[in-house]
A and B are shown apart, each in its own frame.
Chain A
Amino acid sequence: MLSYSFDFSFLMTTWPAFMRGAWQTILLAGSSIAIGFIVALVCAIIRSGKNKFASGLVGAYVEVIRNTPLLVQIFIVYFGLPSLGLKLSAETAAVIALVINTGAYGSEIIRAGIESIAKGQLEAAECLGLNKFQVYWHIILIPAVERVYPALSSQFVLLMLSSSITSQISAQELTAEANLIQSETFRSFEVYLIVAAIYLALSVLFRVVLWAIGEVAFVRRRKLRT
């Protein structure tokens, strides 16, 4: 039974395809993270804001996204929007779906950060003469994001891994490339082992990049490292 013999010789010819897939995943996940972060930020601001109606709307969006499968969300964007007359490439549909998904999860994380800011902080800032916008920016938003940045980073790495599911609509990314290679070489086990290894490397890469961004953006992180 255990007589399976590994054969990685196909790598000689398919390595460039794996690398292309990895690069496509980086682009797909990277752009989804960047746009998703902005969506999450805006949603968190609205959700924790005074406008009951807008806040409720965002709340409904968050709940719908968190309680439906990502794959179904992707199908709805990819197959659903064209019937409304919006023609999308698989990659665009993938980015939109991933942004919608991570915007919901990310907004809950950022909202927790916003709500963790003590009222005394706001009063102190007010007493120093900062106006509403300045208080919001300097005393709420920046420290809130700083506080939840580790959780946010994990969410973004998860998003990168989840992007593999967009292979279901044949978006060009690592898993889709792997499916293709697998169908040509019939070495499924080897192919997916390699894919797993590449995803692992991508996770490390994303973590390192996100960490570096945090180091630059949040002075305290850099200075208080023990």
Chain B
Amino acid sequence: MSVNEAAGTRPRNEAVPGAEPIIVVDNVSKNFGPLQVLHGVSLEIQRGTMVAIVGRSGSGKSTLLRCINALEEINGGSIKVCGHPVSMSDRASVKRLRSEVGMVFQSYNLFPHLTVLRNITLALTAVQKKSRADADAIAHKVLGLVGLGDKAEAFPEQLSGGQAQRVAIARSLALSPKVLLFDEVTSALDPELTGEVLKVMEDLARDGMTMVLVTHEMAFARRVADIVVFMHQGKVWEAGPPAEIFADPKTPELRQFLSSGL
């Protein structure tokens, strides 16, 4: 399954010229009542790349991810995922989107009453209509990928935060999404546990998974991401390869963010 066997740091995935981006966010605005949170955000995400969204708390990063995943209705502009427009009001399109996009949250959101195995197989059997045996096989496979093959029968409350988050990633992964969205998935973890989660994400990136992550892990973004997007006041303030963004910030806001955030 490994697309990229290169040892050490992963070579930057390059956009194939002329290829349709897997996610196209075009001039999107979003407000909660009188509060405008996104001001004309535009962003293209290429297949097989990792895009890290950074920025201050409240700059609209989560909202952007949620709009991409049809958890929030946008008020202007358009979003396309895998070539299809995202619209919360169109059931069929939401259903298709759910099969293409996986999302992992800061608070894991594992289902507490189900074992790790059933957390993963629930959607496989209920949504993808797979047999229990097939679903179990897939679950064991993805648990192996995140290094938790021995936790299938555990309940969420028996897991550490790092393990719970890896299960959450496995649960999304089991549905073979084309894109994975991560919203500050290590922010609730003790520092010694973030490494194991980041390691899983790096493995996924190496295998060519398209990923969009909101993160405060600057070192990780710098080392692994293909594109870093700096959001500020509901806008994409600066975006580019990490080398440029980190070494040569163009705007004073980014410069200030980088010097305070690290």
Contact = CB atoms under 8 A, between A and B. Distances in A.
Contact of A220 (B95, B105, B113, B171): B113
The SS class assigned to the A binding surface is helix
Nearest to A142: B113
Contacts, number: 71
Contact of B157 (A120, A130, A224): A224
A148 to B, nearest CB: 12
Interface residues of B, number: 30
The 10 closest A-B pairs by CB, nearest first: A124-B109, A129-B98, A128-B123, A129-B127, A143-B113, A127-B103, A120-B109, A134-B126, A220-B113, A120-B107
Interface of B: 69, 71, 95, 98-99, 101-103, 105, 107, 109-115, 122-123, 126-128, 153, 155, 157-158, 168, 171-172, 175
A130 B111 contact: no
B98 A128 contact: yes
A146 B69 contact: no
A143 B95 CA distance: 25
A123 B71 contact: yes
B171 A123 contact: no
Contacts of A202: none
A107 B153 CA distance: 32
A127 B115 contact: no
A220 B172 CA distance: 22
Most buried by B among A120, A127, A134, A138: A127
A129 B175 contact: yes
15 contacts: A121-B111, A124-B109, A125-B111, A128-B123, A129-B95, A129-B123, A129-B127, A129-B128, A130-B122, A130-B127, A138-B111, A138-B122, A219-B113, A223-B155, A224-B155
Given A128-B127, A128-B171, A224-B155, A146 B105 contact: no
A121 B98 contact: no
Most buried by A among B113, B126, B168: B113
A215 interface: no
Contact of A120 (B99, B105, B123): B105
Contacts of B122: 128, 130, 138
B128 to A, nearest CB: 8
A226 to B, nearest CB: 11
Contacts of B95: 129, 131
Given A129-B127, A134-B126, 11 more contacts: A127-B71, A128-B98, A128-B122, A129-B95, A129-B98, A129-B128, A220-B112, A220-B114, A223-B115, A224-B155, A224-B158
